[in-house]
Amino acid sequence: MEDIDDILREFDSQNAPSNAKDYDDLLKWWINERAAPEILQYQDDLVERIMTRVRRQIEQIEDQTGDLDPRTNFQLIIVQTELERVKFLIRSYLRTRISKIDKHALHILSTPSIRHLLSPSEQTYLRTHQALLNELYLSSFLKNFPDNLKRLDDKAGGLSMVEEPDLEGAVFLRVVRDVSVEIAWEGGETLDMKAGDIYVIRYSAVQDAVKRGEVELI
C-alpha cells in the first residue's frame, strides 16, 4: 500500500536527474561552442526546457518577495543566486553563437546546411543584420565604386571575401569513449584515442567524433 508521499517522492526522483542532466548538458554544449571554430547545432529543446524553468523561478520569486519571514527570505536569496548563474550560462551560450554568426555571416547565408543549425530567431537576426550592413555600406561608400567592385562576396583573384570558419585550427579535447580517428593529412594514418586522454589536435580530424559525443572539447 503506497503512501501518497512515497508516490510523489518516486516521481520527484525520476524528475530530478533530468533537471540536473539538462543543466549539465547546457554546460557541456556551452563549452563545446566556445571551443569549436564552427557553429554547432542549436539545442532548441534543451534551451526551451531550461527557459521554462527560469520563467517559473522568476514567477516564484516575485510571489515570495514581500514575505518578510527571514527563513523564506534566505531561501529566496539562494534561488536568486542560482537563477543568475543559469541566466549567465544561457546568455554566454547565445553570445558565443552570435559572435560566430557575425564572423561568418556571408558563409552561413550561402550554405543552407549550416543555416539549418541556427535557431529561427538567429536566422532572422542574421538576415536583418546583413541587410542593415549592406544598406550602410551602399549608402556610405559602395555606390561610388565602379560596378565590378561593388560585390561583397568577391571570389576573384584567388582570395575570397567571404570568411569561412577555420576548421584546421587546434582544439583541446578529452576523450569520452574509445574512438579511432583518421588523420587525413598524414596519408590516412589512424589514431587510437582511449577514454580519459587529453589531446591537442586539428578540429577537422575530430569533427564527427565531437558531433557524436565520443569526445568532448575542453
- Burial label for 86, CB within 10 Å (0-12, 13-18, 19+), is middle
Question: Is residue 218 involved in binding other proteins (CB under 8 A)?
Answer: yes
Task: Work out which of 7, 8, 16, 156 binds other proteins, going by CB under 8 A.
Answer: 16
What are the helix (H) ranges across 1-69?
4-35, 44-64
Extract the C-alpha cell encoding 136: 550602410
Place of cell 570568411: 163
Cα–Cα distance, 65 to 67 (Å, whole number): 5
Instruction: Restricting to residues 54-83, name those near other proteins by CB under 8 A.
Output: 54, 57, 71, 74-75, 78-79, 81-83
Per CB under 8 A, does 164 bind other proteins? no
Site stretch for other proteins (CB under 8 A), options 24-32, 127-135, 138-146, 157-165: 24-32
Nearer to other proteins, 124 or 150 (CB): 124
**Cα(5)–Cα(8) distance, rounded to whole angstroms?**
5
Residue pair 130/69 in contact by the 8 Å Cβ criterion: no
Give the binding site for other proteins (CB under 8 A): 12, 15-16, 19-20, 22-24, 27, 31, 34-35, 50, 53-54, 57, 71, 74-75, 78-79, 81-83, 85-86, 88, 92, 95-96, 98-99, 102, 168-170, 172, 183, 185-186, 191, 196-202, 205, 218
